[in-house]
Homo-oligomer: A and B are copies of this chain.
Amino acid sequence: MRIAIDAMGGDHAPGQIVKGALIAAREWPDTELVLVGNPEAIKAHIEGALPPNLIIHPALDVIEADDEPVRAVRRKKDASMVVAGRLLREGQADAMLSAGNTGALMTTGLLVVGRMEGIERPALAPVLPTLDNIGVLALDLGANMDAKPEHLAQYAIMGSIYREKVHGIQRPRVGLLNVGTEPGKGSELTKAAFELMERAPIHFIGNVESRDVMQRSCDVLVCDGFSGNILLKAMEGTAGAVMKELKDAFKSSLLTKLAAAIMMPGLKGLKNKMDYAQYGGAPLLGVNGLVVKCHGSSDAESVKNAVRQARLALQARLIPTLAAEIKGKEVSL
């Protein structure tokens, strides 16, 4: 199998991306990795010879973090992200990874790779951290701001298949993000989606509240892109703020510094639990190929994890399975 990696996207590109690709190439000699980007910039981070399964594919332009997504993807035809998408569409790669501009990657998925038949809106599906370190696959996390009930039902089916095929969870519990657990709660959107999800070929466990996500109250969390973004960033912001306050409290005197030294291992474990990078990248589900979004702050370790995840998805034949399931099981009001 062959995975195209956008070497130029992300806060620590190309250095950490290239480093992660090198580690992954050595770990999985059966997998070809294609680093897409400026060859000079990429080579500057490689010492010695390239591993035989690591290829550089030139692409001289770059989509920047603040580029307007649709315009950038349309105009920058030689941007590393767009070129990687083209490799995927043309069958020269089986998957693509990027830590670059999220909006541009979703646009690349839609316009370059193409939408999967039967899917109205692709969804971005990262794993949210949970206290048991297993995580919750949540979708959509920002690909579509204005979802319809049918979209949510499709997210549910796609997320369920992904969770089973790639993460190995049998009969994943699918929950609907809502303001209360009782049926009948919520907005017009969630009320209608609830009914569709009850009839979908999934293990639907009903409504789930945002306060219980960290307890892994479900395996797949379905939400519209707007609410999902609010949830994700509220979790990030609150965890970050609490950890920062804690750090300040530990720094306040010699005695508390001693306490900090004692607590170091426990705190490190807690910090890791809140760390998104450990869960690898987020697939963009509903496009005609495996597109994985890595966190913008991805380091080499995250890139390697994303490659691991892409391999699992390819081995499990995720995309053909999704396409077949979606085609066969249309859900509508």
Q: Is A227 an interface residue (CB 8 A)?
A: yes
For A66, the closest partner residue in chain B by CB is: B182
What is the copy number of this chain in the assembly? Answer: 2
How distant is the Cα of A142 from the Cα of B91 in the complex, in angstroms?
48
The contact of A214 among B177, B209, B214, B238, by CB within 8 Å, is B238
Q: Is A3 an interface residue (CB 8 A)?
A: no
Do the beta carbons of B262 and A258 come within 8 Å of each other? yes
How distant is the Cα of A245 from the Cα of B249 in the complex, in angstroms?
17
The contact of A211 among B240, B250, B274, by CB within 8 Å, is B240
Query: Per-residue 0/1 for A232-269: is the Cβ within 8 Å of any B Cβ (1 yes, 0 no)?
Result: 01111111111101100110100110111011001101
Do the beta carbons of A259 and B263 come within 8 Å of each other? yes
Secondary structure of the A side of the interface? Answer: helix
Do the beta carbons of B263 and A249 come within 8 Å of each other? yes
Q: Is A88 an interface residue (CB 8 A)?
A: no
Question: Which residues of chain B are within 8 angstroms of A245 by Cβ–Cβ distance?
Answer: 131, 270, 273
Q: Is A170 an interface residue (CB 8 A)?
A: no
The contact of A230 among B142, B234, B252, B273, by CB within 8 Å, is B234
How distant is the Cα of A126 from the Cα of B187 in the complex, in angstroms?
20
Question: Which residues of chain B are within 8 angstroms of A210 by Cβ–Cβ distance?
Answer: 229-231, 233-234, 237
Q: Is A212 an interface residue (CB 8 A)?
A: yes
Do the beta carbons of B146 and A241 come within 8 Å of each other? no
Do the beta carbons of A252 and B266 come within 8 Å of each other? yes
Do the beta carbons of B262 and A266 come within 8 Å of each other? no
Question: Which residues of chain B are within 8 angstroms of A215 by Cβ–Cβ distance?
Answer: 237, 241
Question: Which residues of chain B are within 8 angstroms of A188 by Cβ–Cβ distance?
Answer: 145-146
In residues 187-229 of chain A, which contact B (Cβ within 8 Å)? Answer: 187-188, 190, 209-215, 225-227, 229
How distant is the Cα of A258 from the Cα of B241 in the complex, in angstroms?
25
Do the beta carbons of B256 and A270 come within 8 Å of each other? no
Q: Is A179 an interface residue (CB 8 A)?
A: yes
- Identify the interface centre among A190, A258, A266: most chain B CB within 10 Å of its CB: A266
**A256-B266, A259-B263, A262-B255 as given contacts; A211 in contact with B226, CB under 8 Å:** no
Closest 4 CB pairs of A and B: A211-B237, A249-B266, A234-B234, A259-B259
10 A-B pairs with C-beta separation under 8 A? A131-B241, A142-B179, A145-B187, A186-B226, A213-B237, A214-B237, A234-B235, A238-B242, A242-B243, A246-B246
14 A-B pairs besides A226-B227, A238-B238, A258-B262 with CB distance below 8 A are A131-B241, A145-B186, A145-B187, A179-B226, A179-B229, A209-B233, A210-B234, A213-B234, A230-B231, A234-B234, A242-B243, A246-B270, A256-B262, A258-B259
